[in-house]
Every structure is written in C-alpha cells, then in structure tokens.
Amino acid sequence: MAAINVVSWLLILGLFSHCSATNIRLNTDYRLDNILILVQNENFASVDNMKALKGYLAYVSHQMARATEAVGRRISINTVRLLVPPSKIAELKNAGVFPSMPATWESEVSADVVLENPGGKVKTIPADECYGPNKWIKMPEYTVRRNATANSFLRELSIYLWGLLSESVSGVQFYQDGSGTFQPSVCSSNTPGQYRLRNSISSGADSSSICLSELVRFENFSLAKMQEICEFTTKPSPTGNNWGSILSQPVSLFCDSKSFNNDTRVHHSSQVPNPFNRACGGLSAGEVLRKHPHFLPTTPGASVQETQPTVLLVEKSAFRDVVLVLDVSGSMNHDRIKNEIRSATIYVKYFLETGARLSIVSFSATARELQTLLKVSDDSVREQLAKKIQSLAAGGSTNISGAIYEAMSILGATAPYTKSQTGFVVLITDGEHNTGPNLTVAIEQAAKTSIVFDTISISRYADERMARLANLTNGRSTFVSENTPRMLNWRSPLQIW
C-alpha cells in the first residue's frame, strides 16, 4: 500500500465519537450476558494473563452479587466475550483457556471494556446526568492480577451499566452540613471511620480528638483549613472491605435510603456536594438502581446463587467485508460531493486494510451498486476502486432506506434478519430521507443483524436518524459542518488492529 503522511490530512479529517449501544443483557436468572472486553496489546494477551483475567472476573461477579442483593436483586455476570488480536487466537485456543465462538456483532467499537497498556486507574467515561448514557470502561492491564482492584472495576461497571455517577468529590474530603458541622465527603455521615491529622500517625489516642483539638487553635476556622489539616479514613468491615459507598471508594456496598436499608453505615447523605447528588437530585444509589429496568419488580426472572462467569474467546476474521454508501442526491452538488469523493478516495487508497473486500453503493432516488465486493489485494485494486468513486455526480432525491437495504443485501443479509448476518457499512449523507421505504423501519431491520453502520452527516440538514442507526448497530456517528473543510477520520472506525 502506498505511503502517506497522515498528519498532512488532519485539516480535512474530522473525529468520530464513540456512540455504541451496549449489547449487555440481563437474563432470566438475573445474570448479565454479552459483556465485551477488548484486549488491545498483543503482548498482554498471553495464556497466563488471560487465565488471571478469568479469575479476576469471577471475583468481580461475586462482589456484584453481594452489592446488588443488598439493593433488592442479586445480579451477577454470566457471560463475557473476549476480543483479542487475531494473532493470539490460535495460542489461546490450543491452551484451552476459554471456549471459542465465531464473531457476529463483536467489534472494537462495540467493546464495553478496553484493556489498555498504560498504567492508571479503572475509569469509565461518564455522563453528566442521572441515568445518562455512559461510554466504555478503560481498564489498565495490571488490574487483572490484583483482586484488590475488583471493587474499583465494579464501581465503574455500575456507572457504565446503570447510569450512576461518582460519589467522589475530587480533592475535597469534607463539607459543612446544614448546621455548619464538618462532615467527611462520603456517602453516609454514619460511615465508620476516623479523623486524623494529615501526615501523622495516631499513637493510640482517638484520632478524631487529636484532629479536632488541633482545629480549635484556629480562629475563624474554615473548610479550607479543615481540608489542609485533617483527613478521614473509613474503617475496615468484618469482610476486609471499607464501609461506605461503592461509588466513592473501592468498597463493597451501595449507599441507600433509610426507608429501605436499616444499616446506618450505608444511609445516603444528600448534602455531600458530589456529582451524583447534583445530577440525581439527592437520591441514593439504591434508589436510582431500583428505577433501572434490571431492578424493577416487573422484570421477569429469579435470582440464582451461581456467580461464576463463562468467558468466551471471540474468533474474529482478520479481514472483513465493507460497503461504502455514498449520497449523490441533488443537495450534494458542488463542494459537498467534492469533499465526499475526496474523503472516500483517501479511505480506499490509504486506510482500507489490505485483504478486506469492498463494495461501493451510490444513492439518490434509488440505490445502485457501483462495485461488487472486491478483495483489496494491492495498489492497483485501490486505484480501480478510487476511479469508481471519482466518477460520481449529484442529482435526484434522497432514498436512505433504499441504500440501507442495498448495503445489507450485498453483505448477504435478507429477511428474516438475524444476528448471524455480519459486515460493515459506512454511510455518508447530507440530506433528509424523502423517498423510498420507511426509514425508521429500515433502521429497525438493520438493528436485528450484526452489521455495523458508521454514519457521517455532512450538513445540518442531514437526517437526524443517522445517529440512531449507528447507535443501534454498535457503529459510530459523526456530524461535519458543511462550512468547514474537515471531513472524515477513517482511522478509528474502519481499521481492525
């Protein structure tokens, strides 16, 4: 493949955001299926490390069952799907570490958890609203060998799955309640623990007294001074975990309302100035969880005692079939179609992986296959595909649903649509659907398959349902203003490794 200075294209390449909808489902045993973990680092995907990951997930599942049972429903992990670099599949299969299965919907962009090489903490990319849509969990590789981090992972999984938010207040250990009393910034003001002077070791005396006796020396004592001098540490519970909320520290329980849980050590404090209280109106984690479908009394099923998860190795083909769908309706005239042609040409010539098969579809009032699936074996094939794209001209109405059905048909997906039907589609459009079959129905049909749709809207008039199509199919959606020279970033959504 010809070389290109990628940096030189940054002014015309826009960025995608991760918009995938999770495939995690709660089964009738109240166990979670289809958690997808992506292992990015080939060197980390060794037999020993994957065995450690298996044990780590078993511990997380056990802790989840304990924490959720206290809220009202025992939920644990049933199946985890593991996506590793294709070069490691044979080694892991031969070692018999996991049962294996062929990939259907699983892809990098649909991963719930991403194992990363750098250090750091387990971290979800959170929403800023109660029940908001959260993004993937980033998990440092070292954590899988440390069960001590399991509750940190459970905290982030709770945020990711159930729309909770953190109860931590960055850099703030205390707040003043309605009476002006200093309280630790933990979920419950009744959390067992002790005050202590910072950078000091208690000599057996009551740490709270030591800290507070020091404070009385200051006139006009302020919250800032309290923060400077004192700290609060929770006491270990009989199980070895700290008391308090799983959303603020790597502990073992969710804070809850007094009316549901009699244990005062987990009673929620609505006055703590944390993201959770601000977004959820002072509700406790337990109250928020019981409004989630996984915890509703009407959700059918029955809890089981089993918590051991099954980890499945996903066998993903090194190459794939991609359909590039290009809008050539009348509204694409002039600069829009020029930008579309230029970006699609860049993708075909420089970013589409060698060995993949590509089909090209153009659409206006109808959808037309310009190129049947063709294996990209060398640069001559790339040039052949680029010439097809460069011959496009704009004119006609906009039949997005027809383009969706045509792309699915090329990938072998016909009614009845099922999850066994796979492939990738990139759909670029600037207009609203105005002719052809019902677009909402077409999107619903696409969601029944495992075909991933990445959608690019290149004007403010583009149909707003494009984001929904990407979301329902574990794809990515992006908007590019017609008034900017930026166009597309083909790197993230369409490269495998």
- Which pTM value belongs to this model? 0.67
Q: Which residues of 265-280 are buried (b: 16+ CB within 10 A; e: fewer)?
A: bbbbbeebebbbbebb
- What is residue 1's predicted lDDT score, i.e. its pLDDT? 36
Q: For residues 286 and 71, is the Cβ–Cβ distance under 8 A?
A: yes
- Residue 39, token pair as written in the block: 């292992």
- What is residue 200's predicted lDDT score, i.e. its pLDDT? 55
Q: For residues 240 and 250, is the Cβ–Cβ distance under 8 A?
A: no
Whose CA is closest to 147, among 83, 242, 63?
63
Distances in Å between the Cα of 401 and the Cα atoms of 7, 43, 159, 205 are 36, 43, 35, 74
Name beta bridge partners: 76: 31
Q: For residues 281 and 291, is the Cβ–Cβ distance under 8 A?
A: no
Give the pairing of strands 123-124 and 113-116: unpaired
Distance CA 432, CA 437 (A): 13
- What is residue 164's predicted lDDT score, i.e. its pLDDT? 85
Distance CA 160, CA 148 (A): 20
- What is residue 68's predicted lDDT score, i.e. its pLDDT? 94
Whose CA is closest to 463, among 427, 424, 493?
427
Question: How far from the centroid of its chain's Cα atoms is residue 419's Cα?
Answer: 20
- What is residue 215's predicted lDDT score, i.e. its pLDDT? 57
One-letter-per-residue 3-state SS of the chain: CCCCCHHHHCCCCCCCECCCCCCCEECCCCEEECEEEEECCCCCCCHHHHHHHHHHHHHHHHHHHHHHHHHCCCCEECEEEEECCHHHHHHHHHHCCCCEEECCCCCHHHCCEEEECCCCCCEECCCCCCCCCCCCEEEEHHHHHCHHHHHHHHHHHHHHHHCCCCCCCCCCCEEECCCCCEEECCCCCCCCEEEEECCCCCCCCCHHHHHHHHHCCCCCCCHHHHHHHEEEEECECCCCCECCCCCCCCCCCCCECCCCCCCHHHECCCCCCCHHHHHHCCCCHHHHHCCCHHHCCCCCCCCCCCCCCEEEEEECCCCCEEEEEEECCHHHCCHHHHHHHHHHHHHHHHHCCCCCEEEEEEECCCEEEEEEEEECCCHHHHHHHHHHHHCCCCCCCCCHHHHHHHHHHHCCCCCCCCCCCEEEEEEEECCCCCCCCCHHHHHHHHHCCEEEEEEEECCCCCCCHHHHHHHHCCCCEEECCCCCCCCCCCHHHHCCC
Name beta bridge partners: 17: 477
- What is residue 489's predicted lDDT score, i.e. its pLDDT? 45
Read off the pLDDT of residues 348-405 as tens digits, 9 standing for 90 and up.
988 888 888 999 999 999 999 999 999 999 999 999 999 999 999 999 999 999 999 9
Phi, psi of 137 (to 5 degrees): -100, 125
Q: Which residues does 90 contact at the CB level (< 8 Å), separation at least 6?
A: none
Read off the pLDDT of residues 199-209 as tens digits, 9 standing for 90 and up.
654 444 455 56
Q: Which residues of 313-352 are buried (b: 16+ CB within 10 A; e: fewer)?
A: bbbbeeebbbbbbbbbbebbeeebbebbbbbbbbbbbebb
Angle formed by the axes of helices 400-410 and 439-447, to 10°?
30
Q: How do the domains of the chain map onto residue ranges?
A: 25-163+292-315, 174-289, 319-494
Distance CA 385, CA 37 (A): 34
User: What is the dotted CATH code of the domain comprising 319-494?
Assistant: 3.40.50.410
Q: For residues 266 and 254, is the Cβ–Cβ distance under 8 A?
A: yes
* pLDDT tens-place values along the chain, 497 residues long: 333 332 223 223 332 333 346 789 999 999 999 999 999 888 999 999 999 999 999 999 999 999 999 899 999 999 999 999 888 999 999 999 899 988 877 877 778 999 887 666 677 765 667 876 667 788 888 888 887 778 788 888 988 899 888 777 666 778 777 777 777 777 776 777 777 777 654 444 455 565 665 555 555 567 777 777 787 777 665 554 444 555 555 456 888 888 888 877 788 888 888 888 888 888 999 999 999 999 999 888 888 999 999 999 998 766 789 999 999 999 888 788 888 888 889 889 888 888 889 999 999 999 999 999 999 999 999 999 999 999 999 999 999 999 999 999 999 999 999 888 888 999 998 878 889 999 999 999 999 998 989 888 887 777 788 888 988 887 878 776 655 444 444 433 333 22
Read off the pLDDT of residues 296-351 as tens digits, 9 standing for 90 and up.
998 888 889 999 999 999 987 667 899 999 999 998 887 888 888 888 898 898 88
